[in-house]
Amino acid sequence: MHIMEGFLPPFWAAFWYALCIPFWIWGALQVKKIFKEHPEQKLILAVSGAFIFVLSSLKLPSVTGSSSHPTGTGLSAMLFGFSVTAILSTIVLVFQALLLAHGGITTLGADVFSMGIVGPAVGYYTYRVLRGLKVSLPMTAFVVAVLADWATYLVTSLQLALAFPGDNLMHAYMVFAGVFAITQIPIAIGEGILIWMFFDFLLKSRPKLIHQLLGMKTQAGAGQKQAEAGA
């Protein structure tokens, strides 16, 4: 989500920045660990960041002068977790604020918290639950993308309601959420279908690396171990 530059009162702008700091530290350490211990994962990490950048740059008009867009964070949340996704999202949002006038620097903390932390966290834990239920990976990717997207906009609605509560905080929240829902519900479903297709492509083109990232054994690897045990 991109809250425009200067839109939030100073207190709330600083508040969301403060909440992001521990996730930035944690995510930076995780990225450093990936670069050091798993350099072969750099390409997929870069692709995940590019996916976030491209999808979240597609601003579509909504009602009352607002806009909606996909977030693209579901893929990264599945493969690297939400702390790394926070770093990728921060990089994306800084570039978009400076080069595309999407969002802003004063509102960066709020945008990162909704799109780069809470959305991916919901996606990551959804992934964990669905994998425990043995749901297929492409279907899991679809659900993760949709829920990560919706969670992002629910948090953004809360951020805006807290900053501009009017006479009733809950009413303000429902108004903001209602504005986004008109376009964001179908956009999230479309994003889910796209990530489903892209994740299926990754599984077919780079199965070993994807399964390594997901902490699972490939069928080939499992078959090899069985053969060695039989020998």
Tens digits of residue pLDDT in 217-226: 444 344 434 4
For 175-204, what is the mean pLDDT? 87
Contact, 103 vs 56, CB < 8 A? no
What CATH number did the domain enclosing 126 receive?
1.10.1760.20
Mean pLDDT score of the chain, rounded to an integer?
A: 86
pLDDT for 227 beyond 50: no
Q: Which tens digit of pLDDT belongs to each residue from 31-79?
A: 999 999 988 888 889 989 998 998 888 877 665 555 678 898 998 999 9
Q: What is the pTM of this model?
A: 0.85
Q: What is the DSSP letter of 81?
A: -
Domain containing 93 equals 10-230
Task: Assess contact for 82 and 110: CB atoms under 8 A.
Answer: no
By the 8 A CB rule, do 171 and 179 touch? no
The C-alpha atoms of residue 35 and residue 126 are separated, in whole angstroms, by 26
Looking at the structure of the chain, the number of domains it has is 1
Structural domain contains residue 213: yes
Residue 4 inside a domain? The answer is: no
Mean pLDDT of the 202-214 span: 81
Give strand ranges (E) for the chain: 60-61, 67-68
pLDDT digits (tens, 9 = 90+) for 92-108: 999 998 988 888 899 99
Residue 1 lies in a domain: no
